[in-house]
Amino acid sequence: MGRTSRKRSRLPRRVVATSAAFIMGGGALVAVNVYANAGEGADRPPPRGSEGAGQQVSTISCPDVGNELPEVPGAARGEVDRRLADLDGQITEAYGQFARTPDKESLLAPLAEKRRETLGGIANTLDEAGARPPEGLDGMAPCTLRADDQGQGERDGQDQEQGQGQSGNGPEAGDFVEIESVRPNVKRPRNGRDASRGTFTTKCGRNENGKFNPDNVIVAPGVSNGAHHMHDYVGNQATDAFSSDADLAAGQTSCRNQGDKSTYYWPVLRLQNGQNEDDAQADGGGKDQNVGEIQTPASVTLKFAGNPVSKVVAMPRFLRIITGDAKAFTNGDANANASWSCTGFENRQLTDKYPICPEGSKVVRTFNFQSCWDGQNTDSANHRTHVAFADRRTGACPRGFRAIPQLVQRVVYDVPPGPGFAVDSFPEQLHKPVTDHGDFINVFDERLMRRVAKCVNSGQRCT
């Protein structure tokens, strides 16, 4: 696939798209059709109610094999990552047939057979590298059907009233909540005597130049469209599926401080206004059921903060961190780390709901990255076990881990109030807010990273 690098279209702000939502007094959501998009043609799923009576199946749920592979020899990682990407592609392909197949169960056996073959390839790759495949790997081939019971009854009533159905790809009315109805819920550990209280802020723009692609160089290196959804990028401009560490080190950066060539990326947010984006017929976009107009953030803040109980050490160069889980809707929330809110209400954070912000308030996505490092590895086979979260109550890192500057990424959008937006996702994840995630590769100049740690440890506010 050619790499996507297009300018995004502009949209007049604060215009409520009538195709997105109708809201009655008292905040009751009466009708939502957020995926009624002009770009959907023959592949658009039928209206709800066209399937068998009582059938509430919404998506395909498969075991996430990558989470079960914490140990993979370095020589085998490239091949294993490619085969894991094949598993994602197989799910996407099966889900693409979902709406056109009355007997959903009939999709599962062929999918399991493809997965079993790919899992066998993973086992063989591990054997050849001298590693023992995990117990029960073959048993992860079968998938199941899953209902989206989030707001299901409310949606069915809405469809009857409006006389038209959603595409079934999400999001649902039940995925949204008015932020003013949420109680304050943010709690932070108190700073101790040895806390590192400083911050370092790097200014890298808000992707005004429109750099996107549907790759994920951390999870699926060397695989085009490895994410099956579009990412916004700030910082390193050389980042795509094929970028080596050397490519990143030599790349240009959108950061004001040219010593920061780090890669910062996250799924784009789209306005469901019936308007096509340039990627309506492209991988990661319309081909993967991500439709609507991509929104340029109003602002992006990238801040590195300290630890409540200890000093921090400098991050190693090329450290990779993924926060959140792109498959949290089907995986469960064990690795979910989505934080949605509104300006003026950021002491109220949502994990599994999108916020409906009052007039004059903007949507906020916050990513609090893992801030503890194992002291040895810049990555791990499942891209998680080399880093960890500090204890939420005390702020201390787990035994064997040391505190590093914590990346806190805040992305703000000026979108019309109401349930008319969603983040890109793997198609079968139904654009759920819980699937939100962020990715980071540290390509700071080593001298500048030492300055970051010094600023954080000394309590300064540096840029």
Residue 228: per-residue pLDDT: 98
Percentage above 70 pLDDT, the chain: 83
Label residue 56 by pLDDT band (50, 70, 90): low
pTM (two decimals): 0.86
Residue 169: per-residue pLDDT: 84
Helices 108-128 & 74-96, crossing angle to 10 degrees?
A: 170
Residue 46: per-residue pLDDT: 34
Label residue 168 by pLDDT band (50, 70, 90): low
Judge whether residue 37 has pLDDT over 70: no
SS3 at position 122 = helix
Judge whether residue 338 has pLDDT over 80: yes
Segment 179-199 shows an average pLDDT of 96
- Of the listed ranges 9-23, 72-86, 301-315, 360-374, the one predicted with least confidence: 9-23
Q: Which residue has the higher pLDDT, 10 or 89?
A: 89
CA distances from 306 to 199, 200, 264, 313, 460 (A): 7, 9, 19, 10, 11
Percentage above 90 pLDDT, the chain: 79
Segment 404-432 shows an average pLDDT of 96
Q: Give per-residue burial for 220-235: e unless 16+ CB within 10 Å, then b.
A: bbbbbbbbbbbbbbbb
Judge whether residue 208 has pLDDT over 80: yes
d(CA 249, CA 441): 11
Please report, for the chain, the start and end positions of each structural domain, with discontinuous segments joined by +.
Answer: 170-462
Residue of 124, 107, 112, 69 whose CA lies nearest to 87: 112
Residue 145: per-residue pLDDT: 96
Residue of 354, 361, 369, 370 whose CA lies nearest to 425: 354
Q: Tokens in use for 51?
A: 């399937």
Residue 358: per-residue pLDDT: 97
Judge whether residue 233 has pLDDT over 90: yes
Residue of 163, 427, 175 whose CA lies nearest to 290: 427
**Residues 343 and 180: beta-carbon distance below 8 Å:** no
Q: Which residue has the higher pLDDT, 257 or 418?
A: 257
